[in-house]
Amino acid sequence: MRFIEARTLIVAGLGLTAASLYAMTGWTDQTGAREIVILSIIQGFGFGLVFVPLSTVAFLTLPNHLRTDGTSMLTLMRNVASSIGISIVIAQLTEGTRRVYAILSEHINPFNHAMQMPDVAGMIKMNTDGGRAMADVMVATQAQIIAFSHDYQLVMIFILCSIRSRS
């Protein structure tokens, strides 16, 4: 922070975080562990570039005798904001999964050409309990993947808006 302004570090950190979230929107059930680890490291580095300078700037002009109170207030505000953010994201994830599941399951019927293909019809026999259970698991998995992608997009948009408001 001696050589680079705190605002620049914060914007760079938010940019890295937004870029990692953008990449995460493309995750599927076939995404490898290596990609997940690399993007998690990039995202963690981005968060580090955000929170360290932010804390430093918060205490820059605060007199020494108020730093304990300032630390308490900053921690309180960070925890409350994190809790609200997590609640919103989890609510969106739950509702998104339910909504996407309903949309996807509408297409599981005997008239769907994909369901009539020999390899699919051989694997998912809709006239058996096991076939219906397998179809349900596949639809639920895809619904959750899509809902996670939407959540990553939502958080990415919030971050991009915060970058725009700082510029």
- DSSP codes joined into one string, the chain: --SS-HHHHHHHHHHHHHHHHHHHTT--TT--HHHHHHHHHHHHHHHHHHHHHHHHHHHHTS-GGGHHHHHHHHHHHHHHHHHHHHHHHHHHHHHHHHHHHHHHHTT-STT-HHHHSHHHHHH--TTSHHHHHHHHHHHHHHHHHHHHHHHHHHHHHHHHHHHHHH-
pLDDT tens sequence across 62-94: 899 999 999 999 999 999 999 999 999 999 999
| pLDDT at site 21 | 97
Q: How confident is the model at residue 130 (pLDDT cuts 50, 70, 90)?
A: confident
